[in-house]
Amino acid sequence: MSKKILAILSEFGYWGEELIGPLETLEKAGYSVVIATSKGRRAPALTPSMDPAYVDPPLGKPVTSPEVAAKVVAIEKSTKLDNPLNLSLLLPERPYPSSATFIRDFEEYNNALDAAMENILGEYSALLLVGGSGPIVDMVNNQRVHDLILGFNRADRPIAAECYGVACLAFARDYHIRKSILLGKHVTGHPLEYDYKDGTGFMGVDFNMGPPPYPLEFILRDAVGSKGQFHGNVGRQISAIVDYPFITGRSTADSYKTGELLVQVLEKGLRRYGW
């Protein structure tokens, strides 16, 4: 199996530690991480995630240590995130049903997708969806991100997601079946207690959509269904869940743990953790 991991970042801002945690852990274990974004533009770190004095409004405390802040500043100043893969070139776009040649177009799309995923799965062992508020904009309802998730899921490859990146899993659904791939699974993610209000989610980028457009906890609770479970673990410092092939991390503090669990899944065959 390849020692390469494909990581998706948002062009509207990623939370620093939610990249640094798994990146540092994976690289220490001998894996290389290749970055991709929706349009091939460089992903920026959200400025609060580089500021150890920034107080997270829902939690009422600083959530970035000086050590992690320095690491985020360093990677932002480096060329490491330059020239990411462009998902819009890597994977095809599904045609509109209103196309006059929809059936032929849909066949062409599926053939192109199969070929693209064969190449991707031949190169990467796992998929990582990095969190922050940015994924709400260009990852959560991104058909190409969904196709990646579905492809890794069908191939029985690990898929790790953090924070608002976990929402991508809830909406990645087979075009024909349209049922959640999280049905019956155990996951974690932003609970209601962690949700922010207007103006505090996109600080430092030239964009502000106000508060998150949905409560992630409710989406995940519905997605896992009656036989699965959402674990907010409010009151616990760490919340990270493995229900193979999914590895989910709640928020910033869970970033290193998410990376550690992904390594254990890849190296030791871990299939369940956290509940």
pLDDT in tens, 25-54: 999 999 999 999 999 999 999 999 999 999
For residue 141, pLDDT over 70 is answered with yes
pTM: 0.96
For residue 1, pLDDT over 80 is answered with no
pLDDT at 118: 98
201 confidence band (pLDDT: 50, 70, 90): low
Q: What is the mean pLDDT of the chain?
A: 94
Q: What is the mean pLDDT of residues 86-99?
A: 97
Least confident range from 101-110, 137-146, 188-197: namely: 188-197
What is the token pair recorded at 225? Answer: 């269904």
- Name the domain count of the chain: 1
CATH number for the domain that contains residue 179: 3.40.50.880
- Show contacts of 215-221: CB within 8 Å, 24+ apart: 216/164, 216/166, 216/167, 216/189, 216/190, 217/189, 217/190, 217/191, 217/192, 219/167, 219/170, 220/166, 220/167, 220/170, 220/182, 220/187, 220/189
Q: What is the mean pLDDT of residues 155-168?
A: 97
Domain that holds residue 248: 4-273
Q: What is the mean pLDDT of residues 118-122?
A: 98
Q: What is the mean pLDDT of residues 127-149?
A: 96
